[in-house]
Amino acid sequence: MSIKPDVQVRRVYSDARDDDGVRVLVDRIWPRGMTKAKAALDEWCKDVSPSTELRKWFGHDPAKFDEFAKRYKSELEDPARAHALDHLRKLASSERLTLLTATKAADISEAQVLAELIGA
């Protein structure tokens, strides 16, 4: 019997909480105005982030999220991204994993897509 991974998505700008577990930033670009100390990261896994082209096309437009998720999942088959995703899965297998993103709409971000894939 396997235990479902405990994965949550939060904004990197929110204060760290004691129950965050492992905190991993999954954005390609460092969050504007954020210091390393304030981010309180365990890791920055930018290899798992979507391509610049896909990120710019999406532009966090809610109407494009379903297509973004589809294209992003396809990009995650790339060997470097697949390796990074496997790493996140391993982290989530032993404790809570908090995926961090700078976007204001974390529920329509790459972090949300990753959380669904890892938690499935």
Domain ranges of the chain: 7-119
Q: Which pLDDT does position 32 carry in this prediction?
A: 94
pLDDT band at 21 (very low <50, low <70, confident <90, very high): very high
What average pLDDT does the chain have?
A: 94
| Residues 68 and 58 sit within 8 Å (Cβ to Cβ) | yes
Q: Is the pLDDT of residue 2 over 80?
A: no
What are the φ and ψ backbone dihedral angles of 22, each rounded to 5 degrees? Answer: -80, 125
Place of tokens 């929110």: 14
Mean pLDDT of the 56-79 span: 96
Token pair belonging to 120 = 């499935």
pLDDT band at 3 (very low <50, low <70, confident <90, very high): confident
Q: Coil, helix or strand for 51?
A: coil
Mean pLDDT of the 54-77 span: 96
Q: Is the pLDDT of residue 89 over 80?
A: yes
Q: Is the pLDDT of residue 120 over 70?
A: no
| Residues 7 and 90 sit within 8 Å (Cβ to Cβ) | no
Mean pLDDT of the 91-114 span: 95
Residue 59's identity, in one-letter code, is G
Q: Which pLDDT does position 1 carry in this prediction?
A: 46
Q: Is the pLDDT of residue 81 over 60?
A: yes
Place of tokens 């939060």: 10
